[in-house]
């Protein structure tokens, strides 16, 4: 049975954040809140944890995972970004956007789009997510928590505990969340392309 932490959505308790980070460092899978509903997360290097996430969501090998970062300071490690794209990202983070970028060799091949060699990257504004990332000191490998057959991210932590309590290691209850997905912006070419309109205002990228 997984652990279940109630973490204050605006003032996350450091003790519980640190306990969650210890579980991540042990290679475990957590459910945590983001701006756009709950997500599944693990460390980048944990292949077994990633495989567990794929089984939970019934994902195939073509699924694009996202690196969730505390800010843009780690960007150059994982993605190739020109100055214009960097300015756009800096002006619109943190926020409800996922950016598709050309991946560097630091990104494990299993996390990137095989055909395009791209990776998704986002900087959330959710206080719990930020606290986790700051305590962990590295990005989280993440994917939206959508159960098979559903079109939206899970938003109720009690429901998540009931459905996934035996297959994840920790559920963080950060309250009920909105379900609107992020706006996805492709920055791999000279001109930005809005791939999906969601919670983030697409206007800066049009």
Q: Mind listing the pLDDT tens digit for each residue in 127-167?
A: 999 999 999 999 999 998 987 778 778 888 999 999 898 89
pLDDT at 1 over 70: no
> How far apart (Å, rounded) are the C-alpha atoms in residues 114 and 111?
9
pLDDT at 61 over 80: no
182, 96 contact by CB (below 8 A): yes
| Closest listed residue to residue 140, CA positions, set 127, 123, 156 | 123
Confidence (pLDDT) at 41 = 96
193, 183 contact by CB (below 8 A): no
The CATH number given to 3-201 is 3.90.870.10
**What ranges do the domains of the chain cover?**
3-201
User: What are the structure tokens assigned to 197, written together?
Assistant: 């309109």
202, 88 contact by CB (below 8 A): no
With 0.85 as the threshold, say if the pTM is over it.
yes
> DSSP string spanning 89-124?
HHHT-SSSEEEEEEE-TTS-GGGS-TTT-EEEEE--
């Amino acid at each position: 049975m997984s652990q279940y932490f109630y973490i204050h959505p605006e003032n996350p308790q450091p003790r519980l954040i640190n306990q969650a980070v210890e579980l991540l460092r042990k290679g475990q899978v957590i459910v945590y809140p983001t701006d756009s509903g709950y997500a599944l997360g693990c460390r980048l290097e944990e292949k077994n944890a990633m495989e567990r996430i794929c089984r939970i969501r019934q994902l195939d090998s073509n699924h694009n995972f996202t690196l969730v970062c505390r800010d843009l300071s780690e960007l150059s490690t994982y993605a190739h970004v020109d100055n214009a794209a960097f300015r756009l990202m800096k002006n619109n983070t943190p926020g409800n956007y996922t950016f598709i970028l050309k991946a560097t060799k630091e990104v494990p091949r299993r996390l990137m789009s095989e055909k395009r060699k791209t990776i998704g990257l986002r900087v959330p504004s959710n206080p719990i997510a930020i606290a986790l990332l700051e305590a962990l000191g590295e990005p989280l490998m993440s994917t939206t928590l959508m159960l098979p057959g559903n079109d939206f991210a899970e938003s109720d932590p009690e429901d998540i505990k009931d459905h996934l309590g035996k297959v994840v290691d920790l559920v963080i209850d950060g309250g009920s969340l909105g379900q609107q997905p992020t706006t996805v912006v492709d920055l791999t070419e000279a001109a930005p392309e809005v791939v999906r309109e969601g919670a983030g205002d697409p206007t800066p990228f049009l």
